[in-house]
Structure 1
Amino acid sequence: MWEPGLYVEARILADLDELWTHTQDPALRRRWDLRLTRIDQLPRAEGGPLRYRYAARPLPFLTVTATAVGARERERPDGSRTSVLRFACAHPLSPLVEGSGYWRYLPDGDGVRFAAGCDYRPRWGRFGALADRWAVRPLTRWATAWSFDRLRLWLERGVTPERALRNWVAELAVRAAVAVGAAGALAAGLDPAQRVLGTFAASLAFLCPLLLSVALCLALFAPPLPGTPAARRCLRRPSDPVRPPRLMRALENP
């Protein structure tokens, strides 16, 4: 069994053609894919592979670009579809040198299992390997899963990517405010009810730490709202044995 270095899978209740369009059209993909700020499809030689130029902004002051070649298999005997890619990045500040990946579209009842697998070679030698293990790869996996769930909300609920981002920022802000407030009150030993209600609240003072603890747990661990994208809704490991698509073997380097 081949296991990709990074794997994410989401089940999306949408038409296969609609999902294919929203993932293969660069203009649509830019709206939901958190990892990329720009995607340009380059001129294609007759009979040659698809060619792309990607741009990402890992830091506010840094934009890195990569070139890629790709191929698609839209009609397979089992009804699934496949898209593969090889990419390379020459920017010295990019944590990635080169890599490859695939998207698989697997019909599943009234929906589609949309799976991504990829691996890459990190830059900067031993330091780069450590940075990749503890920061780059976990963040990339999270961003991929979060983006897949944002795409799911768009297709299933009609929540546009822009609105989904606003929902996520708002919910994150509320959770952070509740968590910080509850944690601060617990640490300081404050009794907000007694301060407001006076001696009447003294008989209920024992409830305040409990209520603050419940508020803190809800802020940290409660499931996200239905209209808020969340990486936790996606699988991070393949549920079935996976093999690299045959298309990948014949794909040239970018």
Structure 2
Amino acid sequence: MKRAKPIYVELDMKTDMDHLWAHTQQPDKHEQWDLRFSEIRYLPKTSPGAQHFRYMTRIGFGLRIEGSGETKERFDVRTGERVSTLRFGSEQRASLIREGRGYWKYVPQDGRIVFLTQYDYDTRFGSAGKIFDRYVFRPLMGYATAWSFDALRIWLERGIVPAITIERALIHYGSVMLLAALWTYEGLVPKLLMPGGGELELMLQTGWFPGRETNVLTWMGIAEIGMAAAVFVFHRHKRLFAAQGLLLGMLAAAAFVANPELLAAPFNPLTLSLPMIGLGWVASRTANNLPQAGRCRRRPVRRAERKVDGHGVHL
């Protein structure tokens, strides 16, 4: 099997070199924004040069992966660029990563810092491990790296600490997923799969579409599934949630006009519409200052192309 490409992530940040360096080289700051690590601990230096460290990553269900590594620093007085190279690895048999190598590079450019990384690693578990890495693990690692870089950018540029950013993201994406699931259910089950459960009768009671109720109900179901897709794809657009609230209000009003007795039912359009409107409001309020992995460049440009070994960057 052809070797997978190294992971590359690059992002411009409006900050100064010392500020960025501190937030990426000090373990107590680094572990706050980097999704790949739960804990980083520097070991006492025994000699000048390499800084040895231990890291730990919680993977859920009480499981964690631990490993170790070393990092070295290089500083170019002429250009102001800095490089931090590293080697890392884990002896745990449960760890997919056996050992790896990479670098962080800091390039001053036009009042900002271009912060980039490239790293690669060897895997365990033979061919199965390589296949899992290529199609699942490596894409997730690349996404987590890019998402983390943008979380760091938000911290440096806007002063929003990663804990708040991550909490906002969890609330936002949780609301979006619930909304998408509700729209999908409402379009698929009562309108497309089981119209006889009450939706068709309600449509007949309105008298608005004589002889075409079944077709209208079908198109309404398709439209609601389309709304689920729109909520999922355009979840950063606040106007979408405003339009959704208006649509839900209109649908609920139409149902009560057709059958006012629905208000007495324990589960009625109002008990569904209000929570969905509330979820839309929460998603709208948390749409700002969310990290975006897509903001990062994932392929090196010519000026940034470098080859990496375990001890330094070959220029």
Structure 1 length normalisation: TM-score? 0.86
| SS at 1:119 equivalent | strand
Structure 1: how far apart are the matches of 2:47 and 2:29? 25
Structure 2: how far apart are the matches of 1:229 and 1:10? 12
**Equivalent position of 1:47 in the other structure:** 48
Where structure 1 has 5 or more consecutive residues not aligned to the other structure, the ranges are none
1:153 equivalenced with 2:157 (yes/no): no
Residues 1:218 and 1:91: Cα distance change in structure 2 (over 3 Å): same
Tell me if structure 2 keeps the 8 A contact 1:178–1:215. Answer: no
Structure 1: how far apart are the matches of 2:121 and 2:189? 47
Range 176-185 or range 219-228, more displaced: 219-228
**Equivalent position of 2:106 in the other structure:** 105
Q: Which has the larger radius of gyration?
A: 2
Structure with the higher fraction of residues in helix conformation: 2
Quick one: higher RCO (CA 8 Å, sep 6+), 1 or 2? 1
Root mean square deviation, CA, Å: 2.9
Q: Which amino acid aligns with 1:242?
A: E
**Equivalent position of 1:164 in the other structure:** 165
Residues 1:223 and 1:172: Cα distance change in structure 2 (over 3 Å): closer
Q: Which amino acid aligns with 1:216?
A: A
Deviations 1:43-68 (A, max 9, x none): 11232311111111223321121111
Deviations 1:209-253 (A, max 9, x none): 575355323322126433112222212221326112588349xxx
Tell me if structure 2 keeps the 8 A contact 1:71–1:247. Answer: no
Q: CA deviation at 1:161?
A: 0.6
Q: CA deviation at 1:200?
A: 7.7
**Equivalent position of 1:221 in the other structure:** 233
| SS at 1:78 equivalent | coil
Q: CA deviation at 1:74?
A: 3.2
Structure 1: how far apart are the matches of 2:209 and 2:163? 47
Structure 2: how far apart are the matches of 1:201 and 1:166? 46
Residues 1:16 and 1:223: Cα distance change in structure 2 (over 3 Å): farther
Residues 1:200 and 1:85: Cα distance change in structure 2 (over 3 Å): farther
Structure 2: how far apart are the matches of 1:239 and 1:60? 40
Q: CA deviation at 1:199?
A: 2.1
**Equivalent position of 2:125 in the other structure:** 124
| SS at 1:35 equivalent | coil
Tell me if structure 1 keeps the 8 A contact 2:49–2:72. Answer: no
**Equivalent position of 2:182 in the other structure:** 181
Q: Which amino acid aligns with 1:236?
A: R
Residues 1:245 and 1:131: Cα distance change in structure 2 (over 3 Å): closer
Structure 1: how far apart are the matches of 2:308 and 2:108? 17
Structure 1: how far apart are the matches of 2:208 and 2:173? 31
Tell me if structure 1 keeps the 8 A contact 2:188–2:221. Answer: no
Structure 2: how far apart are the matches of 1:75 and 1:223? 43
**Equivalent position of 1:231 in the other structure:** 293
Structure 1: how far apart are the matches of 2:208 and 2:67? 62
